[in-house]
Structure 1
Amino acid sequence: MTTIRPQRDQMIKRAVMQRPEAVIETSIQLWEKLARELISIIGEGGFHSLYKRSLHLTGATFPWMAPDSTLPQNSSDFVDLKKCLAGQDAANAGEASAALLIIFIDILALLIGELLTSSILRSAWGDDALDTVVKELP
Structure 2
Amino acid sequence: MKQLLLKTTLLLFISTIISCENFDREFESEPLIGVWFLVKKTADKTNIPIDSCMSKTTIEFKSNKRYTEIVFYKDSIGKCKFYEDFGKWNKFNGKYDIDNLTIIDQKLKIEIIGNRLIYSYQAWHDPFGNFTTYLYKISCCG
Q: Normalising to structure 1: TM-score of the pair?
A: 0.29
Which structure ranks higher in relative contact order (CA pairs < 8 Å, sequence separation ≥ 6)?
1
Q: Normalising to structure 2: TM-score of the pair?
A: 0.29
Choose between structure 1 and 2: higher helix proportion: 1
Choose between structure 1 and 2: higher strand proportion: 2
